[in-house]
Structure 1
Amino acid sequence: MLNETNLQGLFVPLITPFDTEERLDLESFGRYFSSLLQYDIQGIVLNGTTGESPTVAWEEVGTLYKAARACLRPRRLPIIVGCGTNCTAESVRRSEAAGHWGADAVLAVTPYYSRPSEEGIIEHFRRIASVGIPVVAYEVPSRTGVALSVETMQRILDLDGVIGLKDASGGLALAAGLLPDCPKPILCGEDALLLDMLHLGAAGGMLASANVETASFLKVCAQVSEGNTSHAVETFDRLLPLIRLLFRESNPAPLKWLLARQGLLASGTLRCPMGPVSTAMQAELDAFLT
């Protein structure tokens, strides 16, 4: 299982491949995931935002978990499973199931849509953490509608069983407020802010863009760790156009199109209500490949 010490480095949130009928495409999943395993990434995330978690049934998450473990053999790589919902009881049930599967941690998002009080949110995380599987909290107010204060997030990180945070808060204020005094790791979840967060003391990143140019993202992390600031800036500046392109339209639509164009997926299909990228975006992504 993951802990506060080894939750660091580059974690890649996996996409969920579908065929043209919007069914799971396990053949593409195996090909795509195996291509990532040539890199020394520190872990993966199943059923996160990039994996289209709102439209993936829990039974399908179990299928993907088994497929991922099969691809990994004999290599051991941490798997974090997205288990957070806006229903505490369901999040607990999913976390228990992920623990039974052998997952190394769960990713639990701040409860969305219902806009609970901060005390309710803290209790939500406390109940998930009580399951016994390590919990990575996930703050992404652009999707949840609730932005937590530094003080509230610190109380969540103080909970036993919460081992760290994926910070996709959209800025640097949360990380800057937490990092000076927080003993638990914070991972950047805002791809374009990776370099800034690493300089603040973030332990790594959980980045959708790292599905492509994976080696360069690893290089940025290593260069910052080694104190090679100028080289890290150069490497990251070369990545920024790609990052901005991949988030020009809703993630993971551009990413899926690109992976399909590279031949790693049979189709860039997304599940409705997500739809394909625009023709203009396709042209820009195609230009990136050339």
Structure 2
Amino acid sequence: MTKLKLKGVFTAIVTPFNKDYEIDYIALEKLIEFQIENKVSGIVVCGTTGETPTLSNDEYKSVIEFVVKKVNKRVLVIAGASSNSTLKALENAKLCKSLGVDAILVSAPYYNKPTQKGIIMHFEKINEIGIPIVIYNVPSRTGVNILADTTYTLSKLENIVAIKEASGIIEQMIDIKLKCKDSISILSGEDHLIMPMSVIGCDGVISVVSNILPKILSDFYIYDEKKYEIHEFLYEISRSMFIEGNPVTVKEAMSILDLCENYVRLPLANASENTTNTLKELFRKKGLIQ
């Protein structure tokens, strides 16, 4: 069986809320259309950027169902299905498969910090569900790093199609590419590293910044001659998206650019006035606002 190949920009889309902190499906539909119009390869729904830990089970299902329906096969849909319980991750994977997503995004179990053997066994169980899986390595959030040798072992599983690498360790990313070759897609999990990741032969990015600048991110993977110019333009913006963490800062940026309201659910708190002013100053410098 030929594995699903992931290339280009996959936007880790926010979940917009209204002033009552309910999901704003009208805004979500507009964001979906904005992404598709600007040539992204896919949308990642219910990831960390989508504030999934604050969604109820019914909301989780509803948001994924809504995105799948509105996208209507125009681009790929990847749904977050992580849990620190393998049984819960299996339930999430089964649900996502039934809702018609193209792939699921699964991190190493967080907080309980399994060994590399435990990580392998976790993914082996999810592999049995029969849906394409993108491994998500983000040790800053999970507390455990998925090593290159572990990624290579997992790449041999039938349904492991890609890894979102957000360790920030370039040497590890090079090692993964050398070990796995083209058996799985390798996607950057950090916008500010798309240039070095591209140089070592990686295939794309699961992006936070593309919530606000999808066309520029897409152009990075379309026009080789523009890569450095785009990298230079995006670098400071990419770094700024984490002034107060994700998705607090990107939602504030989206509000400044009139893409959606900047409501986040507790325990996250809205961006400070200092952050708002910093973003506005940067966006003026970059010509994004007057």
TM-score bracket for the superposition, by shorter chain length: over 0.9
Distance 2:68 2:153 in 1: 34
Q: Find the partner of 1:122 among 107, 120, 126.
A: 120
SS at match of 1:179: helix
8 Å CA contact 1:142, 1:170 repeated in 2: no
Deviation digits for residues 236-274 of structure 1, max 9, x if unmatched?
101111111112221111111121232222x21111011
8 Å CA contact 1:17, 1:29 repeated in 2: yes
Aligned pairs, number: 282
- The residue number in structure 2 matching 1:62 is 61
Asked if residue 281 in structure 1 is aligned to residue 275 in structure 2, the reply is yes
Distance 2:128 2:244 in 1: 37
Distance 2:2 2:12 in 1: 18
- The residue number in structure 1 matching 2:262 is 268
Shift of 1:32: 2.0
Shift of 1:3: 6.4
Shift of 1:5: 4.7
8 Å CA contact 2:39, 2:214 repeated in 1: no
8 Å CA contact 1:46, 1:61 repeated in 2: no
Shift of 1:181: 3.2
- The residue number in structure 1 matching 2:241 is 246
Percent identity over paired residues: 28
5+ long unaligned stretches in structure 2? 284-288
- The residue number in structure 2 matching 1:132 is 130
SS at match of 1:151: helix
SS at match of 1:271: coil
Deviates most, 196-205 or 3-12? 3-12
5+ long unaligned stretches in structure 1? none
SS at match of 2:245: coil
| Mapping for residues 3-18 of structure 1, pairs under 5 Å | 4-18=3-17
> So what's the TM-score if we normalise by structure 1?
0.93
| Mapping for residues 78-227 of structure 1, pairs under 5 Å | 78-182=76-180, 183-224=183-224
Question: How large is the RMSD of aligned CA atoms in angstroms?
Answer: 1.6
8 Å CA contact 2:191, 2:208 repeated in 1: yes
Distance 2:19 2:252 in 1: 13
8 Å CA contact 1:12, 1:44 repeated in 2: yes
Question: Where do 4+ consecutive residues of structure 1 move more than 6 Å?
Answer: none
- The residue number in structure 1 matching 2:286 is none
